[in-house]
């Protein structure tokens, strides 16, 4: 109950400072942060930064082992 009263008091202070515009900007900021975190989480799950297979494939390719490079990339989860 104390937490709810504190939140209500802080919201009232925020409204007194800048009105509804400040509250809307704050809400949009929270929503934007949530969307960014959600997208980053999805990219991590898709393997967007999993470059281990890619580095291995480049090493194979530089060594003239094209078939091994293609095989390495076929097993990759990276985007």
Give the best-scoring range by mean pLDDT among 3-7, 14-18, 43-47: 3-7
Instruction: Average the pLDDT over 50-71 and give the result.
Output: 85
Q: In whole angstroms, what is the distance from residue 39 CA to residue 28 CA?
A: 16
Check if the beta carbon of residue 78 is closer than 8 Å to that of residue 51.
yes
Cβ atoms of residues 72 and 53 within 8 Å: yes
CA count, 13 A, side-chain hemisphere, 33? 6
Token pair listed for 53: 């297979």
pLDDT score of 78: 64
25-58 pLDDT tens trace: 989 999 999 999 999 999 888 877 777 778 888 8
pTM of the complete model: 0.57
The vertex-21 CA angle with 17 and 22, nearest 5°, equals 50
3-state secondary structure of 59: helix
Per-residue pLDDT at 75 exceeds 80: no
């Amino acid at each position: 109950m104390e937490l709810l009263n504190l939140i209500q008091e802080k919201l009232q202070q925020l409204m007194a400072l800048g009105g509804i515009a400040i509250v809307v900007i704050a809400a949009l900021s929270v929503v934007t942060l949530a969307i960014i975190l959600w997208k980053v989480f999805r990219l991590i799950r898709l393997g967007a930064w999993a470059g281990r297979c890619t580095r291995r494939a480049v090493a194979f390719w530089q060594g003239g082992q094209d078939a091994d490079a293609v095989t390495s990339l076929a097993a990759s989860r990276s985007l």
